[in-house]
Structure 1
């Protein structure tokens, strides 16, 4: 499918390819929808196998940001940027160039942190554009968003286990966490504190070591998806729930922090057919964007307001699960319809 046809098929407003002459920086920015406000979404640094793979990723991620921001009740649309790795050797110069690209969009895109970035990179962006959020608390920003993402996944998991008939809390339940990055580790901490048994895996040895210190049992990365547990929590790469992996799952529910967990729309039906309750990823993992987006709220950032909105994820998911039971439609479709209705002002 030609690029313009793909943009039309996914209902995107804009797809921008940019190359900075001085640094060699190569970027793709996708703006999906600005009905509710400027498109808010992270900048992801990644080496792709092909340009087509990068386009697919940025289109899917930006659409998910529209849905995520809408379901979280935020006055933002959805957008995403990818930097085609490797990042130029002069990191500061690269992010100054990225900041100028964002500034050139005149507020249609508000950038924040994603894979491969840090708070310091946001500070560099802010030297040349106001349209970047996620600054450190010391710089007057909202700080690291990952604890808020982890908290949102945890409270969303509580709604998920209730929907799966697993009780009203996490104590005594078993959870497999795929990915021991910031979000995965934060989630493991909440789960251990709540009395759950946690199995974890990652290819990163440092993350695995931290997970073990928190009290998680460690298994090989290629075993985690098929672990026999109550809940599977994908907190790493996307597309892990697919035609090949879903038949191997041995869990009652899926609730994790990764983006785009389903490889295709059909995978939501595959999970439902197996009786596995699925928490739509763009609903349960919205804590981070709730946090960074609050920097632009009237009066500035409010930790109390952020925490309240993150805690609301549990109720939003409970409503989605309830509607799914009544309509007998899969939860992913219910969540997408909910988001699309909000984007259209319904």
Structure 2
């Protein structure tokens, strides 16, 4: 991306599908500085989490909001839910800046959008925060069960990634199992930890890495057989599972990754679209992130329509079939899995007249 592009230019650099609305929110009293990006409401209200992160500057925050909200549009479309794509970012260190006053101020901005944007959790926010936000806006999903929500989405997000990984394994090795495969999990936060448990139960050997030593120690204590490495992206593993922040798949890493399958929970894993071609040329299968990590979205979409938990979980298991179809289409059409997933999503988007 060109860092000197204005808001409109940045939006169009992502794709021909420009953002509908970008809202800058500031509350001097609480110190809130946030950006809410609504990419599309073609299929329904824009839903996407609130990321609370200490961005280097406002330009970096804007770029993240635009990229993430664009990704949510495609995630919702590919998942078959009747929702659009949006995302919010709050600028600041959540360990220092997060207060009930700030969250309340943010919630009031969400409420002014009248339901065009529905927020949920993301990096730096949790169910407790969403409970606070829910006191000041109706347009929030993923609150705690005690507050009437569906609870933390980490388990179902991890379950979706696990099913996506099984589909990838079937394509690469002919069996939908990770038994006796070595999987490198990068990032053992809530989702990475849940994914690790699923992989171990399936018979996989797991190695992990994380910048948070406390998270690594906690996971190692619970699972002594898990190996801790300084890096898993280029380690001798069968599967690389990026589950931290995005952008780890670069032109440089694409040339040295040893894994034959890449599938993880992180958003925006490709540093740029050309990386996928480099992976494909090396015979590496990449399961597109916005399809693999849709379990959390499916959960909150189910909460929105008051679906039974068993129905929602069945929908998350359906990620396996969706990923299988996308990988099959990519092979048949001679294109990358990312392009195949985009086409899958765009068919739903294009079936409805575009309007605001």
1:314 corresponds to: 320
Aligned to 2:6: 2
Q: Give distance in 1, aligned partners of 2:141 and 2:180.
A: 39
TM-score, reference length from structure 2: 0.93
1:153-194 Cα deviation digits (max 9, x unpaired)? 111110001111253311111111001111111011001011
Equivalent residues of 1:64, 1:282 under 8 A apart: yes
CA distance in 2 between partners of 1:308 and 1:242 (Å):
34
- Give the gaps of 5 or more residues in structure 2: none
Evaluate the alpha carbon distance shift between residue 49 and residue 304 of structure 1 in structure 2; reply closer, same or farther with a 3 A threshold.
same
Q: Deviation string for 1:225-246 (max 9, x for gaps)?
A: 1111111100001000011111
Q: Is the 8 A contact 2:184 2:239 kept in 1?
A: yes
Say which SS state the counterpart of residue 245 (structure 1) adopts. helix
TM-score by length of structure 1 reads 0.96
Q: Deviations over 1:279-331 (max 9, x none)?
A: 0000000001111221110xx24211110110000000000010011111000
1:9 to partner: Cα distance: 3.8
User: In structure 1, how many angstroms separate the alpha carbons of the residues matched to 2:93 and 2:259?
Assistant: 37
- The yes-or-no answer on 1:57 pairing with 2:64 is yes
Conserved 8 A contact 1:192-1:214: no
Cα distance change, pair 174–86 in 1 and its aligned pair in 2 (3 A): closer
Pick which of 303-312 and 336-345 moved more.
336-345
1:66-81 alignment runs, 5 A limit: 66-81=73-88
* SS of aligned partner of 1:141: coil
* In 2: Cα distance, 1:7 partner to 1:191 partner: 38
Q: What does 1:1-346 correspond to in 2, within 5 Å?
A: 1-10=5-14, 11-86=18-93, 89=97, 91-165=99-173, 167-212=175-220, 213-221=222-230, 223-297=231-305, 300-345=306-351
Structure 1 residue runs without a partner (length 5+): none
User: C-alpha deviations, 1:240-293, integer Å up to 9, x for none?
Assistant: 001111111011100111111101010111110110000000000000111122
Distance 1:75 1:93 in 2: 32
The two structures, once aligned, show a CA RMSD in angstroms of 1.4
